[in-house]
Structure 1
């Protein structure tokens, strides 16, 4: 079809072809028979095989059909195009290096986790090997309900919980089930891009609402789009600025949602790690109208590849979300759910949190010392009351995107702050992850940033 073999060109015999390529004679015969059946070659008795005389006609016809298909049939739907613009974990972003944000320490859990997983494998039977419940393993839902009611101030029962493949799937389900094409959705500005991408993929019209020292500015939201159908927020520790939503703002947004019949999706992504005082109680615990959907995850407190998150839903939504979950991926892997349920009920999770809070608090202090020693001339780093990263603010006139590119050339990962803003003016700085790195690793990486190119 490319014209490299001209019409009427003689072809080697099947025997010769098999010998030249070191393949079976049967394979060569089969290939020629296939070409003959499709009209690409013809055979002359006693003479051999030849390229068909009308090969150009065949080639042109196939090319024409291909061109017609490409020109007349859209590759993706409008929703598919919206989704395809947002790739989480793009090539090159999954390499772990200081100061990549959002990563817990990945070396603290494997021995215990292997033991728990091994125990589940030894118990595997029909119950565990067959299809699971779309809502998730009952034991895990009860264990999560017990934990979040006592530690996060969430008001729920196990029947309100749906286990998801990470928080991202939970956010995506909320977007798909609660939003129609063109519905307005409040999002924090700056924002958590994967969460906003889910809303865009569902056809929502994004309404950026600025964040100040008290969290999302509800009054601005009312002015810009009081009729919004949904608000996606991170009230316990705003991503990426790290501020907590004040009680006054919490009551304001709950009042707005109740008046408007709107939904609030509360993403509680890393609030388990608070280094001074107790973790703040959830917004969901203050809700008396059933307007808040609570999104939790174990990716930040255990390890990202676990891919287990959960939704806490108002009673009226549970059956609808379970049905949608069953269509999306049937259920989350049962063995991992069983191991996590045991991890929670046996007290390992609470002990793990206590241990890691001490480790992470010490590492945050180490990074503050490193920043003061090496980065004072171009960046100020603010301590964080919790979470896995701190915010570094660049001096005026410096560009965080360009600086992050130069840092990457030195093997240092700095997530720039300015691209997380949806509207101008954007602040320039970095999200500095400290939880996954030792004091020595951070000091080496910090000095590397100062090396000449």
Structure 2
């Protein structure tokens, strides 16, 4: 018989012959006991060497798809267990758990607006590539790799020690290296916290509007997540559900509004957690970028009962693609967190951790932070001035002196309509519902300044002003 095989001469010919014959058997196009062409005949048909066909046949015989009979030829075997061959399904019969269907996946970041005020990323052009490349190269030496065995789940000891020192000096947080867990970004820290502290069906409270990933990761674990409103002093503690076992907050720079959790609210939240035997997750996601001397005490520093878990990352100072973060946790859950880290991914990329430790140890982290802080301060000042000036006719600024974005409340129109008009004019701002868990009619919009050139801010905001004037 003649077998239809189409070859792509740019790829391995033996592999193609094998794969197409195997698929023909599985799909039922070649039936049990059917004879195949001799290796010589098929090689001539395909204009390939006989060895190419012989090797493919031998593999199919070894795997049980074919049988070679001396002096008779090569024949198709019946499929294992007597199952009938069926055509390959384009989708497959497997279905995911229902919880995954409504959960979103990240948007496509490839399309860059003319004036890029998108939220959530630093300026990659400021990253110290040459220094980082040298440090990382040093980690791929036999002396650095050592035995090559996996590392301990908690992370690189040197990096954990340096993170603890940084928290003590920069954030007045009493931190010990043994209570620092290195993670693959802040998102993994949230995942581990949910695994260790919350049973399926338990309640967690998050800010609303608020950062979406905590809600998404905990809902995927079967946890009931409840939104709690935010005002000009941050999370409204009196609105917390009494059955919440965990509360997630961004106290230094509430995402996305930008307000800071007042000292009074911080004290109230800690007292609430003690009364209700709950944990608090403090996400200090961009506190490195502070443009005034005023600084509120972190929740962790005020905590006297060991209920606060402090989450941080290096994504905003360096690059999100490094996937490097950390979790400062109470000693009481150390073993459980290490076990959870082990069963999820064993440990975070060790060469990246070691390079980061050297980056901090050699003073390059502090130097880089001072440099980027100066750049972001200039951008922050320009947007603040515009919101207090021409744009104040349409927008009410939310005062903030921290972070990589500023927010404003739209007056006289919906935020969604304002964003649509802005994007049509090439200005890449975002509404609260797009970047956070928020009501569809939430009036806020956000101006990120991590990725836009400083000298283009005024032009972009002027175009936004004209766009809003034409409403």
Aligned to 1:301: 317
TM superposition shift of 1:231: 0.6
Count of residue correspondences:
435
CA–CA distance in structure 2, aligned partners of residues 291 and 39 of structure 1: 61
* Alpha-carbon distance change, 62 to 236 in structure 1, aligned in 2, over 3 angstroms: same
Q: Is the 8 A contact 1:360 1:434 kept in 2?
A: yes
Matched, 1:269 2:269: no
5 Å matches for 1:290-369?
A: 290-368=306-384
Q: Is the 8 A contact 1:208 1:423 kept in 2?
A: no
Distance of aligned partners of 1:41 and 1:158 in 2 relative to their CA distance in 1, 3 Å threshold: closer
Equivalence for 2:43: 18
Say if 1:435 and 1:345 are closer, same or farther in 2 by CA, change over 3 A: same
What's the C-alpha RMSD, in Å, of the aligned pairs?
3.9
Give the match for residue 428 of structure 1: 443
* Contact 2:153 2:346 (8 Å CA) reproduced: yes
In structure 2, C-alpha distance between the alignment counterparts of 1:411 and 1:128, rounded to whole Å: 53
User: Is the 1:11–1:49 Cα contact (8 Å) retained in structure 2?
Assistant: yes
- Distance in 2 between residues matched to 1:126 and 1:409, nearest whole Å: 51
Specify the alignment match of 2:118 in structure 1. 100
- Cα 1:144–1:88, aligned 2, differ >3 Å: closer, same or farther? farther
Matches within 5 A, 1:84-163: 85-90=102-107, 92-93=108-109, 98-108=116-126, 109-122=128-141, 124-127=143-146, 129-163=148-182
Contact map agreement 1:271 1:386 (CA 8 A) in 2: yes
Mapped to 1, the partners of 2:85 and 2:35 lie a distance apart of: 23
Inter-partner Cα distance in structure 1 for 2:57 and 2:421: 56
Alignment of 1:339-418 (within 5 A): 339-368=355-384, 379=395, 381-382=397-398, 384-400=400-416, 404=419, 413-418=428-433
Question: Once the two structures are superposed, what CA deviation does each residue of 1:303-336 show, in whole Å capped at 9, x if it has no partner?
Answer: 1122111111101111110111111111112222
Q: Deviations over 1:228-265 (max 9, x none)?
A: 11111111111111111111111111111111111111
Unaligned runs of 5+ in 2: 1-23
Alpha carbons 2:179, 2:329 under 8 Å: kept: yes
- Residue range with higher mean Cα deviation, 290-299 or 277-286: 277-286
Q: TM-score, normalised by structure 2?
A: 0.79
* Whole-angstrom CA distance in 2 between matches of 1:437 and 1:118: 31
Aligned position for 1:257: 273
* Contact 2:251–2:260 (CA under 8 A) maintained in structure 1: yes
Question: How does 1:272-291 map onto structure 2 within 5 Å?
Answer: 272-291=288-307
CA 227–343 in structure 1, closer or farther in 2 if over 3 Å, else same: same
Residue equivalent to 1:226: 242
Deviations 1:326-369 (Å, cap 9, x if unpaired)?
A: 11111112222122112222332223222222210101223446
Shift of 1:88: 4.9
Structure 1 residue ranges without an equivalent (≥5): none
Q: Residue 148 of structure 1 contacts residue 154 of structure 1 at CA under 8 Å; is this kept in 2?
A: yes
Comparing 415-424 with 264-273, which one deviates more in the overlay?
415-424
Alignment CA distance shift 1:383-1:228 (3 Å): closer
Which of 186, 205, 210 is matched with 1:191 structurally? 210
Offset, 1:382: 4.7
The secondary structure found in structure 2 opposite 1:61 is coil
Give the alignment's TM-score, normalised by structure 1. 0.82
Deviation at 1:435, TM superposition (A): 2.2
Deviations 1:105-144 (A, max 9, x none): 2122212222322343457435474321210111111111
Cα 1:16/1:331, change in 2 over 3 Å: same
Kept in 1: contact 2:28–2:86 (CA 8 A): no
